[in-house]
Amino acid sequence: MSSWSRYITEFVSFLKIEKGLSSNSIIAYQNDVDKLAGYCIDKKIQTKDVQYTHLKSFVTELYDLGISARSQARIISGIKQFFSYLILENIIEKDPSVLLEQPKLGRKLPEVLSIEEVDQLIGAINLTAKEGPRNRAILEVLYSCGLRVSELINLKFTDLFYDEGFIRVVGKGNKERLVPLSERVQLEISAYQESMRSKLDIKDGHENYVFLNRRGKKLTRVMVFIIVKDLAAKINLKKSISPHTFRHSFATHLIEGGANLRAIQEMLGHESIITTEIYTHLDQSFLKEAILSYHPRNSTES
């Protein structure tokens, strides 16, 4: 009898005798843990040797198998109960499932801009105004690179690698990622540098930040929100948008263009691909067109 079988059997007894759960609940928990056991046994991982990275890989495999977010959530819940039991019984010292995140259920994709709406917003910027080139560069970076507003305002010149065509982004948890930097974004940043930024009295400690306000200090999140809101009002946009809308639009347009979901996950800096999965909830007419256009069985050529 393997360690997995023994501990699962004891776990089931615990649920029945001490927790007093119904038969259906016990069966559900057992099935969930059995899935993890099968995965670990295939990889020769003993119960006491399971690490968070193993669990994370297991959850990724559930996604790849097409398991729904709701089913994933139930399986993760069962796994967490199992490791809590092992901790309670002093079988393991550390719970590897503590950091394991549940998928977001029922999460709706916020407003997404069409390509035409993005162009209208950028086109509405008055480039003759002092802040015009800066605001245009801001919107281009938000949309072309998919940055969070916090990542945008903390962007530094030492994070820009023009020759390599990448920017280094420091995201949540100080995790770094590389995002492609288009020539268009480079041109917009350069235009802003040559106009507004070169004329500022830049304050000490703010020299390396890309986007500055009139007083030569790093921009705030609120200021970026105001810029976006004012432009939306200027073109009479009915959608309720924020700087984050450009990030959503960036990801959605990449999906529509056929980009790989894993690549988008990397560019957005998502810890779990489950988070990136929300961008697959696209217009059904687009999905139908994509299938009819690219599936080999829909070709009329012999």
Helices (H), 183-242: 183-194, 221-234
Task: Kindly list the strands in the beta sheet with 166-170, ordered across the sheet, starting from the edge strand earlier in the chain.
Answer: 160-161, 166-170, 176-180
Q: Which of 7, 85, 143, 279 is catalytic?
A: 279
C-alpha to C-alpha distance for 172 and 169, rounded to whole angstroms: 10
C-alpha to C-alpha distance for 222 and 230, rounded to whole angstroms: 12
Express each pLDDT in 125-151 by its tens digit.
999 999 999 999 999 999 999 999 999
C-alpha to C-alpha distance for 192 and 200, rounded to whole angstroms: 11
The reported pLDDT for the residue numbered 64 is 74
Structure token digits, residue 158: 């030492």
The reported pLDDT for the residue numbered 99 is 86
Q: Which of 136, 148, 197, 248 is catalytic?
A: 148
Q: Which of 172, 199, 262, 288 is catalytic?
A: 172
C-alpha to C-alpha distance for 147 and 266, rounded to whole angstroms: 12
| C-alpha separations of 200 from 148, 179, 207, 211, 235 in Å | 25, 28, 10, 11, 29
The reported pLDDT for the residue numbered 85 is 93
Specify whether 247 is catalytic: yes
Q: Which burial class, exposed, middle or buried, applies to 138 when counting CB atoms under 10 A from its CB (0-12, 13-18, 19+)?
A: buried
Q: Do residues 169 and 176 lie in contact, with contact meaning Cβ atoms separated by under 8 Å?
A: yes
Q: Apex CA 213: angle with CA 212 and CA 214, to 5°?
A: 125
The reported pLDDT for the residue numbered 301 is 52
Regarding the domain delimited by 3-88, which CATH topology (the fold level of the hierarchy) does it fall under? Answer: DNA polymerase; domain 1 (1.10.150)
Q: Which residues contact 238 (CB under 8 A, 6 or more apart)?
A: none
The reported pLDDT for the residue numbered 215 is 94
Specify whether 244 is catalytic: yes
Positions of CATH 1.10.150.130 in the chain: 3-88
Q: Do residues 30 and 79 lie in contact, with contact meaning Cβ atoms separated by under 8 Å?
A: no
How many CB atoms neighbour CB 160 within 10 A?
17
Strands of the chain (E only): list them. Answer: 160-161, 166-170, 176-180
Express each pLDDT in 12-54 by its tens digit.
999 988 888 888 889 989 999 999 999 999 999 999 999 999 9
* pTM, to two decimals: 0.59
Q: Which of 134, 197, 247, 248 is catalytic?
A: 247
The reported pLDDT for the residue numbered 34 is 93
The reported pLDDT for the residue numbered 21 is 82
C-alpha to C-alpha distance for 265 and 176, rounded to whole angstroms: 13
Structure token digits, residue 222: 């609120």
The one-letter amino acid code at 211 reads: F
The reported pLDDT for the residue numbered 67 is 81
Residue spans of the chain under pLDDT 70 = 1, 104-110, 273-302
The reported pLDDT for the residue numbered 152 is 95
Positions of CATH 1.10.443.10 in the chain: 115-287
The reported pLDDT for the residue numbered 72 is 87
Using CA of residue 68, residue 73, residue 76, residue 78, what is the dihedral sign?
negative
Regarding the domain delimited by 115-287, which CATH topology (the fold level of the hierarchy) does it fall under? Answer: hpI Integrase; Chain A (1.10.443)
